Amino acid sequence: MVAAKRDTSHFVGVLGWPLEVTLSPLMHNVAFRGLGLDWIYLRWPVRPEDLADAVAGLRALGAEGANVTMPHKESIARYLDTLDGDAQAIGAVNTVRRSGDELIGHNTDVVGFSEFLVGDAGVRPEGASVLVLGAGGAARAVVKALADLDAGDITVAARNPEAAAGVVALASDMNRTVGEVAWDEAAGRVDGVDLVVNATPIGMGGETLLGEATFRASQCVIDLIYSPPTTPLIERARAAGASGWGGLGMLVRQAAASFAIWTGRPAPLDAMSAAAIRGIGHHH
């Protein structure tokens, strides 16, 4: 029995660099055990220059798939066979699934953010004005989710103006107009919007973001950083009476969507959430 079980085991993992902090193995392995699935989730730190070899390795070794995190979300697309809906729309992949001999790129950040925003944060974004900080894969997913949810005016600010212009162009492909504001002018826009989303890593090390900004009680501020669970941005927003949320809810929701894509089974969301909270406790 044991040998037969070992023969049927499946493996997935996460590709990222430097991948110092990841709660994904904890969440997924708890989920696999909870549903009695003979699967394992591994951690794969992969340098950008080794990404092509890593994807070839997934093919050769028979992985069921992978999660993809910074800095590979956009660059991995060229090594996959096809891209599914949201991944195709935003040019960013966070989940890879094997189907026969093909590797298919998906993006569960879009649905993860949508479900978190509406289900956890209780925000109804229809018609709301939004400032999104960042222009990488996470920011693209946020903009797509907001567009799908009929948000009002969306403005993007990024340190790299070319990347910001890319998000604006992407939105226009979705028949959405997204505004762009210079990075050093973003703080001045905060008190004029309903929702602020930080999709950059700034704040992970306790750095100040939007230092000159004024928050107000009717706003919602979301920082996609999940470790630490509360960033200086969230603390300042809450101190002004705004609703402030860290990134753990989105992390769990996108993980649950990845789990369902690989296994064809609904994810045990509560167990994954509990594992993530325990994991953050160990990091801090």
Residues 103 and 204 reside in one and the same domain:
no
Contact status, residue 222 vs residue 197, Cβ threshold 8 Å: yes
Distance (Å, rounded) from C-alpha 250 to C-alpha 255?
Answer: 8
Per residue of the chain (284 residues), give pLDDT as tens.
444 444 458 999 999 999 988 999 999 999 999 999 999 999 999 999 999 999 999 999 999 999 999 899 999 999 999 999 999 999 999 999 999 999 999 999 999 999 999 999 999 999 999 999 999 989 999 999 999 999 999 999 999 999 999 999 988 888 889 999 999 999 999 999 999 999 999 999 989 999 999 999 999 999 999 988 999 999 999 999 999 999 999 999 999 999 999 999 999 999 999 999 999 876 55
Residues 221 and 240 reside in one and the same domain:
yes
- As given in the structure block, the two tokens for residue 44 are 């794969």
Residues 118 and 240 reside in one and the same domain:
yes
Q: Computed over its alpha carbons, how large is the radius of gyration of the chain?
A: 19
Please report, for residues 5, 92, 209, the alpha-carbon distance to residue 10 in angstroms, rounded to integers and kept in the order given.
10, 25, 42
Work out how many domains the chain is built from and give that number. 2
Distance (Å, rounded) from C-alpha 197 to C-alpha 134?
Answer: 9
Contact status, residue 66 vs residue 58, Cβ threshold 8 Å: yes
Residues 53 and 129 reside in one and the same domain:
no
Residues 69 and 58 reside in one and the same domain:
yes
Query: DSSP string covering 235-277, please?
Result: HHHHHTT-EEE-SHHHHHHHHHHHHHHHHSS---HHHHHHHHH
Check which CATH number belongs to the domain holding 12 and give it: 3.40.50.10860
Residues 232 and 266 reside in one and the same domain:
no
Structural domain range at position 273: 2-107+250-283
Residues 116 and 237 reside in one and the same domain:
yes
Residues 137 and 218 reside in one and the same domain:
yes
Instruction: Write out the catalytic residue numbers.
Output: 73
Contact status, residue 117 vs residue 104, Cβ threshold 8 Å: no
The dihedral sign for the CA sequence 276, 34, 66, 86: negative
Check which CATH number belongs to the domain holding 161 and give it: 3.40.50.720
Residues 264 and 193 reside in one and the same domain:
no
Residues 114 and 242 reside in one and the same domain:
yes
* pLDDT at residue 214 in the model: 95
Residues 122 and 75 reside in one and the same domain:
no
Residues 87 and 121 reside in one and the same domain:
no
Contact status, residue 223 vs residue 231, Cβ threshold 8 Å: yes
Distance (Å, rounded) from C-alpha 83 to C-alpha 179?
Answer: 27
Q: Please give the distance of CA 156 from its chain centroid, rounded to a whole number.
A: 17
